[in-house]
Structure 1
Amino acid sequence: MQAEAVGLAEAARWREASDARGRALSWLENATGLATLYDYAKRRPYASAAVGKLVNRAEAKAALGARPDVVWEECNGMVRAAMHEDIMKSVKPEVEAVLRRGRTRVLLYQGIRDLRIGVVPTEAWLKELQWSGLRAFQDAERAVWRIAGEGGEEELAGYVQRSGVLTQAVVYGAGHLVPADNGRAAQEMIEDWVTQTGLFGRARRPRPGIVGSPAGVRIETAS
């Protein structure tokens, strides 16, 4: 099934490729019995109904700048149908174009427990980027990322690799929906990347071992 989806995508038969991908994912879900492929560690599906109740409130719509008459719906059928042929189209050329211009910082992040779009396939296409900074990125240290956990004790958040305008973060304790699975790590990641602090900033290369950083995280070299 996987080979079929890849072959159809290579032939630019996008709708059929998306259908084949859907069949492969359905088979994986049925064969494993997992509650969700978004996070293989979850024992029950996401409680997404609560999200709808929140964002459809009038004050939430006002804060988001949405029209009062618009109703948020998870995985809307019309939107899904309109974008169906785009699912199997690669965005690698667009990523390469942004990286080549060198004016916009790029953050790629994923939860390590994602079975739908995992870390391994993402890193596979990263290695094939047509970008002059690729070698420097590949040679950059992959740093262990720790954040303050409950009770003030440090906890492992993942690892970060960065060079030039490209940063890749893999988030532990999370699947496809990183903010839903590990909200504390997601918040620190976005804030540090936007403000360019900690592992996501312009700190000097750490010496071997554990070093303090502007964000108060531990920096180590991952194997």
Structure 2
Amino acid sequence: MRVLVVEDEPQLTLRLEQALEAAGLVVDTAYDGEEGWFLGDTEPYDAAVLDLGLPKLDGVSILSRWRGAGRTLPVLVLTARNRWAEKAAAFAAGADDYVTKPFEMEEVVARIRALIRRAAGHASPEIVCGPLRLDTLGGRVSLDGMPVTLTAQEFRILSYLAHHQGRVVGRSELSEHVYDRDADPESNVIDVLVARIRRKLGIELIHTLRGQGWRLQPPADAG
């Protein structure tokens, strides 16, 4: 899952980036409103962390532009402003959640994970697909109750497929959501990683649709 952080304080941005990446997310950053708006308008993020008090373009204006252009990514507003009028303005512009500085980093991570899950239609932190269980809070995967060991990148791929299970996900879409904007993976790297995940699972849960991509669903539901 890929997250955009728009925050003008370098040290806080670094801490957010480190915490979100430690939670298995891919992070892009922007330090002013214009760059943040542009990235959110042109890149396929799964969620955004957005400060309100930004240089060049404020957070409420960014939100209004995104929503006006039909951008539906979940947005967590993160700001030192704690007056209700400012919170109301952010929600009216299209914010999905709000955290006031100072904050616990674990809370931001938990809220972002929840926003991503809910946007994909999952209320519970545990995503189930037949015998497969993916714990989005702990970053763990199990099959019939037995743990499955995955690399960080394998977990990101399986997590994206699990969040969107039942839907065909193409190679380019997967690449856009499990790598940051500066990455340039080789053309077959996604195929290799999906093959590795399949071997580790040992059962047919990831189904290939030739020329289209992959779909995660239980064997009995394959069609």
- TM-score calculated relative to the size of structure 2: 0.28
Bigger share in strand: 2
Task: Report the structure number with the largest CA radius of gyration.
Answer: 1
TM-score calculated relative to the size of structure 1: 0.28
